[in-house]
Amino acid sequence: MILKVKWKDFKNKIEGHKAEGKALVEKYKSSRTENDLENLKEEKQSWESEVIDYVKTSFEPEHRNFGYEFKEKRGFNTGFKLPIAQKIRNTIEALKSEINGLAYYVKSLSISDAIVRIDEIDLEERKNLDTDGRLDLVLSKLYELYDDRKYHSIKWILEGNGVEMKIHGEDWDYGKMLENRGFVDILTTKDTGARLTLEGKYAIEQARKVKVTDYSKISSSVEELKELIKKVLSEIEKLGYGQQIIFDEFDELREDIPNLDKKSFGQLLKAKLYDLVSQKAFDKALASEIFKQFTDQVLPF
């Protein structure tokens, strides 16, 4: 599904529809008669039809499910005959909910590059993102949606940004990886939803301040790196972190040193530290301190 009209024009049109909906609320909020109720229902239905028709036809192929997703399905059946004034209030509340839903829909679309700004991205590059790239993409889009404090479908975020989901449950795996790092809270229903934690928000902001990790201060000496690994392991052990997995990971790193340049060594070190934190072998503060000993930089989380 791709937006056929310009994103700016689409947003402006939706803002106009929202304003019309709010005008209806103002017009009927003090109404009390049967005639007012019927007029409200008629005008609300006409407004809904205009919104649905515009949104549906703005996409290629047409967004035929929008009408079902958009219309408020709230029920107020209490078993008693409601007074006219209450029926009007209920109808107005349903209208308000649809206006809010329209705002949320536009906000969700705003982070979907492959839908609303496909000409501005390299779709082939998005399709070929590795796991780190996909996790970074999810985090960056959740950052844009942080203030609403809602859970957002990871599947929607990825597919709406040109990433194909080929494995069932893959969205849950991504969510758990980010949750284990403390970056998101997740909620699983039909799809896995995620919302950014304050820690995740902070990590993104810090990462954006230091967009590129500088690996130039890593030693070029194989022996110096091996000696530093030995020193680090000794310090870790003194702090009471003695799990075998820690020593196994650093043994692998030490064996790989002769085959790695500075950048490759730094990237491998970073990946191993992230894995050890996610497996709760030690905490983020220690991982960051270890990274700093090799690179003179703080490890972003």
User: pLDDT tens for residues 268-291?
Assistant: 999 999 889 888 888 888 898 899
| pLDDT for the residue numbered 219 | 94
Q: Which of 67-71, 119-123, 205-209, 283-287 has the lowest mean pLDDT?
A: 205-209
Q: Count of residues for the chain?
A: 301
- Range list of H helices, the chain: 7-28, 34-57, 66-70, 84-110, 113-116, 123-127, 131-144, 154-159, 170-180, 198-209, 222-238, 244-256, 262-278, 284-295
Quote the CA–CA distance of 16 and 70 in Å, as a whole number.
16
**For the residues 2-28, what does the mean pLDDT come to?**
95
Which has the closest alpha carbon to 8: 117, 101, 114?
Answer: 117
Task: For residue 60, list its beta bridge partners.
Answer: 2
Name residue 52's amino acid: I
What pLDDT sits at residue 181?
93
Out of 10-14, 80-84, 156-160, which region has the weakest mean confidence (pLDDT)?
Answer: 80-84
Name the token pair of 30.
């003090």
Task: Write out pLDDT tens, residues 128-187.
Answer: 999 999 999 999 999 999 999 999 999 999 999 999 998 999 999 999 999 999 999 999
* Position 72 pLDDT exceeds 70: no
The token pair that represents 258 in the structure block: 């002769």
Give the whole-angstrom CA distance, residue 143 versus residue 110. Answer: 13
Indicate if the pLDDT at residue 261 is higher than 70.
yes
**C-alpha closest to that of 41 among 66, 72, 16, 63:** 72
> Is the per-residue pLDDT at 33 higher than 60?
yes
Chain segment 35-58, per-residue pLDDT in tens: 999 999 999 999 999 999 999 999
Question: pLDDT grade, residue 73 (50/70/90)?
Answer: low
Cα–Cα distance measured from residue 52 to residue 65, given in angstroms and rounded to the nearest whole number: 10
Give pLDDT, residue 79: 52
Please say whether the beta carbons of 301 and 288 come within 8 A.
Answer: yes
Beta bridge partners of 213: none
Tokens of 41: 């229902």
Say if residue 78's pLDDT is above 60. Answer: no
Residues 6+ apart with CB under 8 A from 246: 233, 236, 276, 281, 282
Percent residues over pLDDT 70 in the chain? 95
CB 281 within 8 Å of CB 243? yes
Whole-angstrom distance, CA of residue 229 vs CA of residue 227: 5
Q: What is the pLDDT of residues 179-228, one digit of tens each?
A: 999 999 999 988 999 999 999 999 998 877 765 678 899 999 999 999 99
